[in-house]
Amino acid sequence: MTDKKIKKAVKKPSPKKATPKVKLSAKEKSMAKSINKLEEKVDQLEGELDDQQERVEAAEEKMLRVVAEYENGKKRLEREKERSLNFAKDRVVMGLFPIIDNLERSAKYEQEHNPEDAKQHGVKLVLEQIGKYLKDTNNIASFDPLGDDFDPELHEAMAMREVDGQASGKVIEVFEKGYRDGDRILRAAKVVVSQ
């Protein structure tokens, strides 16, 4: 078959007739333009709304972080305030310890040299009153470790001495009592330890 015959055999499809364009009136054209402009404006506003929502979410997240930092700072400040108050209280109370020590020495001296003297009884009453005040107002108590095992957390060894019949590492003499505030040691007891 020749090329001409092939071309005749294959018929070209006839072009479809295009749908006729509807003619719009001037008013309709104006309305179509207005609709197109409004659709563009809606798209623009939706984009701006999305941007604003992202900004609001970012601002909320930042605000939550700032609030959390504020709360943490507030808690930290409260802890520091409490620690400072405890430190100040400890300094005041610890200033009483040497006075108590001297009163105890005075009471001991009076008892050894004037056992019948009424002054000794007065010193003991003052000591009891101070001890009761410390216990009642600040939960501070003294401890006398005589006969206890030496514990470096509770005791400060001033000397070591050999004692017949005494096991090594025992507190055999107390120079100054220790003081504690609950479980916290304010002053370690000053002691002599057996060797």
The DSSP result for 120-180, as a single string, is HHHHHHHHHHHHHHHHHHH-EEEE--TTSBP-TTTEEEEEEE--TT--TTBEEEEEE-EEE
Q: What is the CATH number of the domain that holds 163?
A: 2.30.22.10
For residue 167, the enclosing domain spans 140-195
At 86-141, the pLDDT tens digits run 888 888 888 888 888 888 888 787 777 776 655 556 677 788 888 888 888 778 88
Residue percentage of the chain with pLDDT more than 90: 46
Q: Is the pLDDT of residue 14 over 70?
A: no
Assess if residue 132 is contained within a domain.
no
Mean pLDDT of 48-58: 94
Residue 151 has pLDDT above 90, yes or no: yes
Q: What is the pLDDT of residue 41?
A: 93
Confidence band of 70 (pLDDT split at 50, 70, 90)? very high
Burial (CB count within 10 angstroms: exposed 0-12, middle 13-18, buried 19+), residue 136: exposed
CA distance 166 to 147: 10
**What pLDDT does residue 8 have?**
54
Task: Say how many domains are in the chain.
Answer: 1
| pLDDT confidence of residue 102 | 83
Residue 90 vs residue 55, higher pLDDT: 55
Please check the confidence at residue 17 and state whether its pLDDT lies above 90.
no
Does residue 176 fall inside a structural domain? yes
Is residue 14 in some structural domain?
no
pLDDT of residue 5 exceeding 60, the answer is: no
103, part of any domain: no
Tokens of 40: 């563009």
| Residue 13 pLDDT > 80 | no
In a domain, 166, yes or no: yes
The pLDDT of residue 10:
52
Q: Indicate whether 154 belongs to any domain.
A: yes
Here the tokens at position 126 are: 């003052």
Contact status, residue 179 vs residue 142, Cβ threshold 8 Å: yes
Q: Is residue 46 part of a domain?
A: no
Q: Is the pLDDT of residue 19 over 80?
A: no
pLDDT of residue 20: 63
Q: Assess if residue 186 is contained within a domain.
A: yes
**Over the stretch 156-191, which tens digit does the pLDDT of each residue have?**
999 999 988 888 999 999 999 999 988 889 899 999
